[in-house]
Structure 1
Amino acid sequence: MTTPDTTVRVRFEGGRGGEAPLTWAQRFMYDVVESLRGQDTHLNFHIRADVPAGLSAEAVAAAVRTLVERNEVLRTRFHPGPDGEPVQTVLASGTVEIGLVDGVGPDAVEDFCAAVRFADHEWPLRVSLLCDDDEPRHLVVTVGHAAVDQWAAALLGDQLTALLAGDAGGTPPDGEQPLDRARFEASPEGEQLRQRTLGHLEAQLRAAQQTLFPVASRVPETPRYWIGELDSPLGGIAIRKAARRLRVPATAVLLGLFAIFVGERGRTGAPLMLIIAGNRHTEAAMRYVGQLAQFTATTVPVDPDSVAATVRAASRGLLESYSFGQYPTLELQRLVETVGTQRGVALDLTTTLNVHHSDADMSPVSDEAFAEAVAQHEGATTFGWLSKLEVENYKLYLDARVDDRLHLWLRTDTAVISPAGTEALLRGMEHAMVRLATGDLKVAELMAQTGTPASSPATGDERVVDHSLVDLRDCLRLVTDATGAPAAVAVEDGDRLTAWVAPADPATVTPQDLHAACMAALPGRRTAMAPQHYVVCAHPPADPADLAQWRALPVVASATGR
Structure 2
Amino acid sequence: MAPATCAQRHMWNLIQRQLPDAAFYNEGLWTDLPARGTPQDVLDTFAELVGHYESLRTAFARAPDGSLTQHVLRTGHFEAEIHTTGPGESPQDALRAWQCRMRHTAFDLATAPLFRAMVVLTGNTPALAAFCVSHIAADLMSMRHLIGELPRLLDARTTGRHPAPPPAARQPVEQAHYERSRKGRALLARSHDYWRRQLASAPPSLFPARRSRATGPPDPGRAGPEHYSAAMNSQAVPLALTILSRRWRVSGSAVLLTAVALLLGNRAHLPACTLRLLTANRSEPELRTAVANLHQEVPVTVPLRGEHVADIARGAFAACTTAYAHGLFDPDRAEELTRAAGRERGTPIDLSYCFNDIRNAHERRADTSTPPPAHAVRAATTATTIEPCDFEEAETFFFVVVSYRPGWLRLVADADTAALAPDEVHSFLRGVERLLVELACEPAESTPPAELATRAWPELRHSRMAMPQAGGAATGTARGDCHGHTTWQ
TM range (shorter): 0.7 to 0.9
Aligned equivalents of 1:364, 1:254: Cα separation in 2: 21
Quick check: 1:97 aligned with 2:79?
yes
Q: How far off is 1:315 after superposition?
A: 0.7
Q: 1:379 aligns with which of 372, 377, 382?
A: 382
Q: 1:60 aligns with which of 32, 35, 42?
A: 42
Q: 2:370 aligns with which of 366, 379, 387?
A: 366
Q: Which residue of 2 aligns with 1:511?
A: none
8 Å Cα contact 2:73/2:112 also seen in 1: no
Q: CA offsets, 1:342-386, max 9 Å, x none?
A: 2322111111111114214543553555633543x3321111111
Q: How far off is 1:91 after superposition?
A: 0.6
Q: Segments of 4+ in structure 1 off by > 4 A?
A: 220-223, 367-370, 454-458
Quick check: 1:118 aligned with 2:107?
yes
CA RMSD of aligned residues (A): 2.6
Aligned equivalents of 1:397, 1:344: Cα separation in 2: 26
Aligned equivalents of 2:412, 2:265: Cα separation in 1: 19
Aligned equivalents of 1:45, 1:371: Cα separation in 2: 41
Q: Which residue of 2 aligns with 1:349?
A: 351
Q: How far off is 1:314 after superposition?
A: 0.7
Q: Which residue of 2 aligns with 1:442?
A: 448
The alignment's TM-score, normalised by the length of structure 2, stands at: 0.82
SS of 2:360's partner is coil
Q: How far off is 1:402 after superposition?
A: 4.5
Aligned equivalents of 1:395, 1:457: Cα separation in 2: 17
SS of 1:314's partner is helix
8 Å Cα contact 1:41/1:115 also seen in 2: no
Quick check: 1:417 aligned with 2:406?
no
Give the aligned residue type for 1:54: R
Q: How far off is 1:83 after superposition?
A: 4.4
Q: Percent identity over the alignment?
A: 25
Deviates more, 1:303-312 or 1:415-424: 303-312
8 Å Cα contact 1:243/1:249 also seen in 2: yes
1:87-486 → structure 2 map (5 Å cutoff): 87-103=69-85, 104-116=90-102, 117-120=106-109, 121-166=111-156, 168-172=163-167, 174-215=168-209, 224-303=226-305, 305-362=307-364, 363-364=367-368, 366-368=370-372, 371-372=375-376, 374-375=378-379, 377-387=380-390, 393-402=394-403, 404-438=407-441, 439=443, 440=445, 441-443=447-449, 444-453=451-460
Q: How far off is 1:337 after superposition?
A: 1.4
8 Å Cα contact 1:276/1:354 also seen in 2: yes
Q: How far off is 1:122 after superposition?
A: 4.0
Q: How far off is 1:240 after superposition?
A: 2.5
Aligned equivalents of 2:391, 2:316: Cα separation in 1: 30
Which sections of structure 2, spanning at least 5 residues, go unmatched?
157-161, 212-221, 466-489
Q: CA offsets, 1:380-411, max 9 Å, x none?
A: 1111111386xx54211111124632211111
How many residues of Structure 1 are paired with residues of Structure 2 in the alignment?
434
Aligned equivalents of 2:353, 2:372: Cα separation in 1: 37
Give the aligned residue type for 2:275: M
8 Å Cα contact 2:207/2:419 also seen in 1: yes
Q: How far off is 1:45 after superposition?
A: 2.7
SS of 2:325's partner is coil
Aligned equivalents of 1:364, 1:353: Cα separation in 2: 28
Change (3 A) 1:305 1:108: farther
Q: CA offsets, 1:412-460, max 9 Å, x none?
A: 01111111111111111111221232433422133124314269999xx
Give the aligned residue type for 2:296: Q
Q: How far off is 1:233 after superposition?
A: 2.0
8 Å Cα contact 2:435/2:452 also seen in 1: no
Change (3 A) 1:107 1:241: farther
Change (3 A) 1:368 1:393: closer
8 Å Cα contact 2:35/2:127 also seen in 1: yes
Aligned equivalents of 1:73, 1:23: Cα separation in 2: 11
Structure with higher RCO (Cα < 8 A, 6+ apart): 2
Give the aligned residue type for 1:231: N
Aligned equivalents of 2:22, 2:414: Cα separation in 1: 14
Q: How far off is 1:110 after superposition?
A: 3.3
Give the aligned residue type for 1:338: A
Aligned equivalents of 2:345, 2:95: Cα separation in 1: 50
Q: Which residue of 2 aligns with 1:71?
A: 53
Which sections of structure 1, spanning at least 5 residues, go unmatched?
1-18, 459-562
SS of 2:143's partner is helix
Give the aligned residue type for 2:308: S
8 Å Cα contact 1:155/1:287 also seen in 2: yes
8 Å Cα contact 1:241/1:364 also seen in 2: no
Q: CA offsets, 1:137-168, max 9 Å, x none?
A: 11101111111111111111121121122162
Aligned equivalents of 1:36, 1:221: Cα separation in 2: 13
Which structure has the highest strand share of the two? 1
Q: Which residue of 2 aligns with 1:32?
A: 14
Give the aligned residue type for 1:264: N
Aligned equivalents of 1:285, 1:406: Cα separation in 2: 28
Deviates more, 1:363-372 or 1:297-306: 363-372
Aligned equivalents of 1:266, 1:132: Cα separation in 2: 54
8 Å Cα contact 2:94/2:120 also seen in 1: no
8 Å Cα contact 1:232/1:405 also seen in 2: yes
Q: CA offsets, 1:71-126, max 9 Å, x none?
A: 11111122334445432111111122321011051244233113322122142111
Q: Which residue of 1 aligns with 2:476?
A: none
SS of 1:288's partner is coil
SS of 2:288's partner is helix
Give the aligned residue type for 2:361: D
Give the aligned residue type for 1:24: C
Aligned equivalents of 1:431, 1:170: Cα separation in 2: 48
Aligned equivalents of 2:74, 2:257: Cα separation in 1: 43
Deviates more, 1:406-415 or 1:113-122: 113-122
Aligned equivalents of 2:461, 2:71: Cα separation in 1: 52
Q: How far off is 1:222 after superposition?
A: 9.5
Aligned equivalents of 1:78, 1:109: Cα separation in 2: 29
Q: Which residue of 2 aligns with 1:10?
A: none
Aligned equivalents of 2:2, 2:431: Cα separation in 1: 47
